[in-house]
Amino acid sequence: MRVLLLNPPFLAQYGKFSRNQRSPAITKAGTFYYPIWLAYATGVLEREGHEVKLVDAVARRLSYEQVEILAKEFCPEVIVVETSTPSIYNDVSISERLKKALGHSFILLVGTHPSALPKETLQLSEEIDGVARGEYDYIVRDVARALSDAREASPSPGLSLRGRGEYEALARVSGLSFRENPHPNPPRGQGGRIRHNPDRAPIENLDELPFVSKVYKRHLNVWDYFFGGAQYPMVHIISGRGCPNRCVWCVWPQTLHGRRFRARSAENVVDEMEFIAQEMPEVKDIGFEDDTFTVDQKRVVEICDLILARGLKVSWYANVRVNLRLETMLKMKAAGCRFLIVGFESGSPEILKQIRKGITVNQSREFMKNARKAGLLVHGCMVAGNPGETKETLQQSLDLAMELNPDTMQFFPMMVYPGTEAYQWAKENGYLITQNFPEWITPEGLHNTVVTTPELSAQEVVEWCDNARRQYYLRPSYLWYKFKQTLFCRTERERNLRQFKSFYRYLLRGSFNGKYQRMRKHADALLG
């Protein structure tokens, strides 16, 4: 069976919109993530023997028309469309366009938004045949298998739920929500009720999944993807799924993978790193995009020991937590780790309790001290607009960021996505200023917030992030540090220059005095 997996185009005129980050948006630093979950599903389908095409239309800057032409040429029987909250209406529109162009294709939407709101997603259009809820690697496989088996048992001109056999086959696919339509050619508006099959259990043995990097090599171009903290080009891989921590706004654990941590074996992880080193020599950094790579620090040490035992010369980075021990950091550094991505989230102890982060401000201080001892760079994250946030707690966050002084610092507004506790909190308290999902980002595709509380408006939160970013990055001491790093550290030189070219325009946009406007004018002249 021919299956097309599509990351559809969206806001291409403004940059690369990334659906595969925890807060879908176009980032100021130019970060653009791999379509990790689509790639995993691609590998599973290929192993099943299907003819598969993975198209990242955002990475390739394909237009709607080009996607339609490509789909007509490939003529897929199943089209898997990844979507997100800000892009849901756009992605449904593209799905309708493809359904009308091809007629027979079964359209399946996947991702965090349809997982949280399956019924509402299907109600957006009768051209959407189904929604995969949660971790969808095997759901996509089972849909293709069910439709293929039904077609072999009773051949029909199309796969748009015209036959009872197809309906019965799909009814056995765990994790699938779909539109029942056992009768041929129903009148428009009478496409049958929506059926929600039982949930599919999370994948227990992650080692049985194909290496996502092999899928990248077959279907994607590594030069299309970028992360500001990484050497270029890089790849994103996953060593484990699920996160046991309870952060109220973190979307992946609450909609896709669950709270329970499941890990690949150390051997399996290092095997993939070895594949990348040998078969993708252009790759300069490997990024572990786990929610928290260091949930099990004993396993992290095992991975590092295997890297060292095999003599692998790889550079890598990971998402971690501030409870990471110094001895683990030292082992990671010895095994090629360059930098750590960590969520400090707030400088207020009370806010940390409100968001159920489960860390303390002193742990953040200890983490930074140990990271410096280990010689690891740190990219820190602060979230603004959390439950209970005030102007005073925001100042505590900025003060802590200045005190910790990591290599790079991200300030972004809390974004509440359907399916998360934060979304429910905002909705129940009447704090949502809109229910129009495209407004979850700015018109230019940048991070936004749609939450206004009695203490802070959405506009104040976004403005605070912009001002905090300027205050952090335009300090003379920080600029001098970056200048020296760029001048004397070869491995960081290209990274800094690429970051600057992508980031400075946003950093200086809308500045609150003429000094920054003059800086922007000079920078524009230097970069041509």
Question: What's the confidence (pLDDT) of residue 521?
Answer: 45
- Domain formed by 2-134+136-196, architecture: 3-Layer(aba) Sandwich (3.40)
Q: 129-181: per-residue pLDDT in tens?
A: 999 999 999 999 999 999 999 888 775 544 444 466 788 899 999 999 998 76
414: which 2 tokens? 């809390």
Which DSSP state fits 108? E
CA-closest candidate to residue 508, choices 498, 523, 494, 493 = 523
Torsion from C-alpha of 155, 156, 160, 164, nearest 10 degrees? -70
Question: What's the confidence (pLDDT) of residue 21?
Answer: 84
Strands 262-263 and 240-241, by their bridges, are antiparallel
Strands 2-7 and 51-56, by their bridges, are parallel
Question: What's the confidence (pLDDT) of residue 492?
Answer: 85
In a 3-state reduction of DSSP, which class is residue 105? coil
First to last CA, the chain: 50
Is CATH 3.20.20.70 what the domain over 206-473 is classified as, yes or no?
no
Question: What's the confidence (pLDDT) of residue 181?
Answer: 65
d(CA 19, CA 66): 20
Residues of the chain with CATH 3.80.30.20: 206-473
18: which 2 tokens? 């990334």
Question: What's the confidence (pLDDT) of residue 23?
Answer: 87
**H/E stretch holding 493:** helix 490-508
d(CA 126, CA 121): 10
For the chain, which ranges sit under pLDDT 50?
A: 157-162, 182-184, 186-190, 510-528
d(CA 386, CA 203): 32
Question: What's the confidence (pLDDT) of residue 508?
Answer: 61
Residues of the chain with CATH 3.40.50.2300: 2-134+136-196
Torsion from C-alpha of 214, 215, 219, 225, nearest 10 degrees? -90
pTM of the model: 0.92
